[in-house]
A = this chain, B = another copy of it.
Amino acid sequence: MADEMNGVWETCSSASVKRASRRLGQLYEDVLKPTGLRGTQFTLLAQIGMAEAPSLRQLAAALVMDLSALGHTLKPLTRDGLVSLVADASDKRVKRVILTPDGRARLAEAQRHWAVAQRRFEQVLGPDEAKALRQVLAEVSSPDFAARFAAAGREGGEPPAK
C-alpha cells in the first residue's frame, strides 16, 4: 500500500499548497503576534485599505474567498471596531466595508511587522524564487485558471473517475 500512495502524497498540488499555507501561516503569524492580528485579518485589512470601500462580494472575489466565509471572518474585526459595514446608497443589497480610524492605525502598525516577515522570507527563499512563486500562485488563483480547470473537465476526453 505504501508505494501506491506515495504518488498521491508527493504530487497532489492541493495538498502541497495547503502544507505550505500552514507553514507560512505559522511563520508570518508568529511575527505578527505582537499586533494581535491573525494573518488572514492582516490581509483583509490591507485589501480593504487598498480597495477603498469594496462591497463584500468584491472583497471575497479579490481574496478568492467564499462570500459567507468572508462574512464570518469579518465578524471579529467589526466586533473589535477595526472595520465597519456601510450600506450602499444606490443598491440597498450592497454593503461596503471600510476601515475605522482604529483599523487604519492597526494596519499601519501591522504592516511594519509584516515587512519583517516578508524580508525574511525573501532572504531565505531568494528574491527571484519568491517572485516566481508568487507569479505562479497568482495564476493558479485567478478566475481564468478556475475556468480552464472546469473546461478541461467538460471538454477534455477524460476517462471517468468511477
Contacts and interface: CB of A to CB of B under 8 A. Distances in A.
Interface string A85-111: 000000000000000000010010101
Given A28-B14, A112-B162, A130-B13, A21 B21 contact: yes
A104 B65 CA distance: 32
Contacts of A49: 1-2, 5
A75 to B, nearest CB: 18
Give the number of times this chain occurs in the complex, counting copies. Answer: 2
A148 B119 CA distance: 13
Contacts of A1: 49-50, 52, 104
A62 B24 CA distance: 15
Contact of A13 (B17, B113, B118, B139): B118
Contact of A152 (B63, B64, B115, B124): B124
Interface in A40-84: 40, 43, 46-47, 49-52, 63-65
Most chain B CB inside 10 Å of its own CB: which residue of A5, A43, A148: A5
B134 A64 contact: no
Contacts of A107: 5
A23 B116 contact: no
B16 A137 contact: yes
A52 B2 contact: yes
Given A17-B17, A17-B137, A116-B158, 10 more contacts: A11-B118, A13-B134, A17-B24, A19-B63, A19-B141, A23-B140, A116-B159, A125-B145, A133-B137, A133-B140
